[in-house]
């Protein structure tokens, strides 16, 4: 089980790096994806459920990582916020995504993109 959790954390890190690169190279495309959050029941509940997979992996692998407390708390934070989002009306979640997409212009998206890349790299570093 720990090997699977480790692989999921690594894949999560790769995903975050990919998102950061998308934000840097194609910020308009990143905004389009953000605008879709919560737009349909399928997208909303799939997004919430899928984000619980790396969250559980972070918790399961926490004691083997370089930063066990951070992994454990971040994993539980992701699970907690996911559970809350199950009860937030989908339309409200979508409105929030649209508001964020409006606030994040392409230049701002490019500016914050390194944080996603660095966070992804930190995830991978923490487990290898």
Q: Name the residue among 90, 81, 67 with its Cα closest to residue 9.
A: 67
Distance in angstroms (rounded) separating the CA atoms of residues 67 and 73: 10
Q: Which helix (H) or strand (E) holds 33?
A: helix 27-36
Question: Based on the structure, what is the number of domains in the chain?
Answer: 1
pLDDT at 95: 96
- Mind listing the pLDDT tens digit for each residue in 43-96? 999 999 999 999 999 999 999 999 999 999 999 999 999 999 999 999 999 999
Q: Model confidence at 7, in pLDDT bands (50, 70, 90)?
A: very high
Distance CA(53)–CA(114), nearest Å, equals 24
pLDDT band at 1, cuts 50/70/90?
A: confident
Secondary structure of 101-119 in HEC code, one letter for each residue: HHHCCHHHHHHHHHHHHHH
- Please state the pTM of the whole predicted model: 0.91
Give the HSE-up count for residue 37: Cα atoms under 13 Å, Cβ half-sphere.
21
**Host domain of residue 57:** 2-127
């Amino acid at each position: 089980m720990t090997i699977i959790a480790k692989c999921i954390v690594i894949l999560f890190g790769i995903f975050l790096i990919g998102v950061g690169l998308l934000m840097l190279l194609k910020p308009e495309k990143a905004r389009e994806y953000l605008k879709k959050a919560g737009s349909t029941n399928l997208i909303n509940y799939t997004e919430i459920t899928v984000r619980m997979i790396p969250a559980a992996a972070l918790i399961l692998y926490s004691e083997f990582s370089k930063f066990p407390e951070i992994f454990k708390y971040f994993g539980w934070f992701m699970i907690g916020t996911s559970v809350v989002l199950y009860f937030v009306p989908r339309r409200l979640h979508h409105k929030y995504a649209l508001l964020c997409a409006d606030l994040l212009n392409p230049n701002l998206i490019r500016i914050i993109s390194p944080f996603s890349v660095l966070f992804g790299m930190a995830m991978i570093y923490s487990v290898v």
